[in-house]
Amino acid sequence: MEAVLFFLAAIGALGGAIGVVAMRNPFYSVLALIVHLFSLAVLFLLLSAAFVAAAQVVVYAGAVMVLYVFVVAYIGGGEESAWEPIPGQQFIAPLLGVAIFVELAIAVLASSLLALGTDGPDVKAGFGDPAGIGYLLLEKFLLPFEASSILLLLAAVGAIVLASRRREGESA
């Protein structure tokens, strides 16, 4: 059962990822990324990371993707021009991607982590639930938690400054 679920989610995640790269229209790329994110949430659930999975669905597939859809609708889903500034880019780039995968696969195969070939240890019932994660965030990782809140505020202010309409006569 777990294996079936894993492979279904893996196919969804991989198909979504390839869809993002292969779709010519950016709007369809965004929709493919939503499929990818939902499949990843299923994988997180299989890894008993319930809170991360919930955050993935709510924050990523919900909020961030809505932002993407709005921006793509605003700038229009124009297709890329056929003009190719770098000759052979369409052939060299996939080769480099395959090279990265081979490199990572070598790193995984050559790793001396013995637990990599196991299902992982049996975890306690509360592993990865909101209570455990929240305890860690507010007790042990309070400083990174607060720092990320400042980072979010800065990003929001920066986005408003970047995207705001400038008055006439003001230099760019």
Partner 1 sequence: MNIEWYIVLSSLLFAVGAMGILIRRSPVVILLCLELMLNAGNLALVAFSRMVDNQQGQVFAIVVMVVAACEVVVGLGLIVAIFRRRLPLDVDELRELRG
Site residues for partner 1, 113-172, by CB under 8 A, read 113, 115-121, 123, 127-128, 132-133, 136-137, 140-141, 144, 148, 151-152, 154-156, 158-163, 165, 172
Q: How far is the CB of 83 from partner 1 (least distance, A)?
A: 8
Instruction: List, in sequence order, every beta strand (DSSP E) within the chain.
Output: none
Residue whose C-alpha is closest to residue 46's, from 70, 73, 84, 12: 12
Nearest-angstrom CA–CA distance, 138 and 136: 6
Rounded CA separation 11/39 (Å): 8
Residues 57-116 that bind partner 1 (CB under 8 A): 59-60, 63-64, 67-68, 71-72, 74-75, 78, 80-81, 85-86, 89-90, 92-94, 96-98, 100-101, 104-105, 107-108, 113, 115-116
**CA–CA distances in Å: residue 126 to residues 54, 70, 75, 123:** 15, 38, 45, 8
Q: Contacts with partner 1 in 29-48 (CB under 8 A)? A: 29-30, 33, 36-37, 40, 43-44, 46-48
